[in-house]
Amino acid sequence: MIKKFIKFYSVLVLIIPLLVSCSQTNSSDTKFTKINKNKLPSTPGVYFFDGKNSIEVFPSEVDDTSFKNVLHLNNSNPEFVIYDNEVNSDSYFLYDYRGENIPLAFNDLVQNHVENGLDLVQLKPMVDLEDSFYCFSQTMVINPAIGRTRNSVWCFSQGSETKLGIDNSTDDGYSLPISNFGFFLVKNKNAELIPPTPLDEEIDIDSLPTTDSLLPTILYQSNIGNLNDVQLYWRRAIIGIGLNNNVVTKLYTELGAALSGIQLGDILLKVNNVDLATFNEDQIITTISNFCIAGHTIDIEILRGTQRFLTHPECSLDTGKQLGGFDYILQPEGYAEFQISFPLYKDNVYCLYIRNSGEKSCFFVQ
């Protein structure tokens, strides 16, 4: 056993030029549905198109988006329609909620210029979408816990409602053991106690309760305390580094980056072979977070002077970042039901705290 240490409604998008260059294509190999001009949308906008009907999607702000309520699709290769003035395919980009780019295929824009002067453009992901949450956005950084997206996003979910955590599995209520106070993790319509541990005790990931839900439901039962004192922290896996764009400006001496030989002033070139040349600081941090799993190593290529080096820093648990979008409702059965509005990262640890309690209750998203 290895010890890990504490320490849309819908989707889519009318977007203006993105800061990160991504691969888009006008693909003659992609099969698009033929749209009868008599069935065009009545107003300009962005629509999910199922071959017969279209559903308009609307923009939102990341901080104001409840991902549990965005448009849900059971279609791993959905088709979308953009109906607007002078549509430019170079301005439309799709990311998953962790900031990973999903390449898009567009149909021929010229052939779809309709009589009233508006462009009708169809687009599809070039790969099948996994069970996850997706957003059209101007910037690569979607998760506000890492870097705030400063523009509107158009988000949707795709896949298993149970895995995503949007199946409303707690509608019937639960009868929690009266003698058991604390936090419970809802799994397969059952509630599992999340054992509390002292704040300063090391986290053993192998012994934590687990969930495969990206928006897990958490129950809390207590006879004391203020529910507003309950906090959720992301114990993100880190390598212990500070950056100014892609230049190393800070190192934590006993964490992975410093131990692997990375030095102040080094320039990060690649993370797990992902080229960082066009990435800003938030985008690099996002990329590291996407690959980092506590107790495992990642590959980072650095430039020092004129020399290139490949390092292998180990990831370890951060002290934690408090997450917003963590709200509760009181249930008549006598417990509080907490729900998370922003999807959690797989292979990451999250901990629940009650302010000034001296304890933590942690679980692992797998």
Q: What is the DSSP code string of 78-133?
A: -EEEEEESS--GGG--EEETTS-EE-EEE--TGGGB-TTS-EEEEEEESSPPPSEE
The reported pLDDT for the residue numbered 21 is 39
The reported pLDDT for the residue numbered 187 is 86
**What is the arithmetic mean of pLDDT over 229-258?**
96
Top-confidence residue, 295 or 179: 295
Q: Are residues 197 and 125 located together in one domain of the fold?
A: no
Least confident of 78-92, 136-150, 213-227, 257-271: 136-150
Q: Are residues 144 and 251 located together in one domain of the fold?
A: no
The reported pLDDT for the residue numbered 25 is 66
Q: Are 298 and 288 in contact (CB under 8 A)?
A: yes
For the entire predicted model, the pTM comes to: 0.85
**What is the arithmetic mean of pLDDT over 272-290?**
93
**pLDDT at residue 3 above 50?**
no
Q: Are residues 94 and 189 located together in one domain of the fold?
A: no
Q: Are residues 333 and 308 located together in one domain of the fold?
A: no
Q: Are residues 115 and 246 located together in one domain of the fold?
A: no
Q: Are residues 132 and 255 located together in one domain of the fold?
A: no
The reported pLDDT for the residue numbered 27 is 53
Residues in a beta bridge with 365: 211, 348
CATH number for position 149: 2.60.40
Q: 5 to each of 110, 133, 292, 356, 366, how far by Cα in Å? A: 57, 29, 14, 22, 18
Q: Are residues 110 and 256 located together in one domain of the fold?
A: no
In a domain, 170, yes or no: no
Residues in a beta bridge with 267: 247, 303
**What is the arithmetic mean of pLDDT over 181-192?**
89
Domains contained in the chain, number: 3
What are the counts of helices (DSSP H) followed by strands (DSSP E) for the chain?
Answer: 3, 30
Residue 210 domain boundaries: 182-235+318-365
Least confident of 59-63, 245-249, 333-337: 59-63
Closest of 15, 41, 186, 80 to residue 71, by C-alpha: 80
